[in-house]
């Protein structure tokens, strides 16, 4: 694998005036002294001028001399580098990649639609140019592959609050997606700065059925919480009445009181009280 290194480069603001002076000297030598020497000096000046490059901010130039990697120039400005070399531009700017909406099966086999946005930048220009054919295409393909892989490891949703789900744990899922992407894209010299889910939904063919299932599960989970609270309130009421000697109840009256409290608390409608004006027994 290639690794980025700094290429030899001379500040162009010094190199260009020197080369121009050398060219004028070559013309002078051609006219006043030796044509051969003057021509050779002009050829040398032209060859050196072929190494002039301009580097924009947040850009790198990969210098290749007859198939050999000579290094990269990252500093912005005008530079004189190895003559007769080729210079490939590599952007070091931060970029976004919005994945397509993918249809995958979650861990329970339910088809879901999912998409993500990946924020990345190139940190090693040599790897980006030489270790993969096209690093931008490589980022796209590997991002979608990683997104599919992560989506198949979790259910879309879970109401038992055990384990992660795609809907309820978006931050954790995004972190895992970012780590997996970094592992996949390191070979291309790319750093993943952020990965976030931008779309998550059940596939159209099962959306209606899964919505009913979600509603039923939510109602069941809510009822369980209500029953747990109602039992606790009934226990607390009886314990408090007996503890403060407000009234002494036998087992039958305790059962009746618990029944009334549970009906009043658990019912999804307001309870209509019946007032007993006679004897308790």
High-pLDDT (> 90) share of the chain, %: 47
Q: What does the pLDDT read at residue 76?
A: 94
| Confidence at residue 35, expressed as pLDDT on a 0 to 100 scale | 79
User: What are the residue boundaries of the structural domains of the chain, listed by start?
Assistant: 10-90, 95-202, 211-266
Task: Record the tokens describing residue 148, joined without a space.
Answer: 């599919």
What pLDDT, on the 0 to 100 scale, is given for residue 269? 62
Q: Please state which architecture CATH assigns to domain 95-202.
A: 2-Layer Sandwich (3.30)
pLDDT of amino acid 49: 87
User: What is the CA angle 116-121-124, rounded to 5?
Assistant: 135
Distance (Å, whole) CA 124 – CA 193: 15
Tens-digit pLDDT profile for the chain (281 aa)? 789 999 999 998 888 888 888 888 888 888 887 878 888 888 888 888 889 999 999 999 999 999 999 999 999 999 999 999 999 999 999 999 999 999 999 888 888 999 999 999 999 999 999 999 999 999 999 999 999 999 999 988 875 667 788 888 889 999 999 999 999 999 999 999 999 999 998 887 765 666 666 676 777 777 777 777 777 777 777 777 666 666 666 667 667 777 766 666 666 666 666 655 555 55
Tokens of 2: 């290639």
Interhelix angle 12-32/35-49, nearest 10 degrees:
160
Q: What is the pLDDT of residue 55?
A: 95
């Amino acid at each position: 694998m290639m690794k980025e290194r700094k290429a030899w480069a001379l500040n162009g603001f010094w190199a260009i005036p020197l080369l121009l002076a050398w060219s004028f000297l070559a013309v002078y030598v051609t006219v006043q002294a030796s044509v051969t020497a003057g021509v050779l000096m002009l050829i040398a000046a032209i060859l050196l001028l072929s190494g002039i490059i301009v580097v924009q901010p947040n850009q790198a130039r990969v210098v290749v001399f007859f198939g050999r990697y000579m290094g990269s120039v990252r500093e912005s400005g005008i530079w004189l580098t190895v003559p007769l070399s080729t210079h490939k531009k590599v952007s070091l700017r931060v970029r976004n990649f919005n994945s397509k909406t993918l249809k995958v099966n979650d861990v329970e086999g339910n088809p879901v639609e999912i998409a993500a946005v990946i924020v990345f930048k190139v940190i090693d220009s040599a790897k980006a140019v030489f270790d993969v054919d096209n690093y931008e295409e490589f980022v796209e393909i590997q991002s979608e592959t990683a997104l599919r892989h992560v989506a198949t490891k979790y259910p879309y949703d879970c109401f038992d609050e055990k384990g992660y789900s795609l809907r309820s744990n978006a931050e954790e899922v995004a972190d895992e997606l970012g780590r997996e992407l970094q592992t996949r894209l390191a070979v291309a010299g790319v750093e993943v700065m952020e990965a976030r889910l931008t779309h998550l939904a059940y596939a159209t063919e099962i959306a209606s059925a899964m919505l009913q299932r979600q509603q039923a599960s939510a109602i069941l989970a809510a009822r369980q919480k209500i029953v747990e609270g109602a039992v606790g309130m009934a226990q607390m009421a009886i314990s408090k009445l007996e503890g403060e000697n407000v009234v002494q109840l036998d087992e039958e009256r305790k059962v009746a009181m618990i029944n009334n409290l549970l009906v009043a608390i658990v019912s999804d409608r307001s309870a209509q009280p019946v007032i007993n004006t006679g004897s308790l027994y």
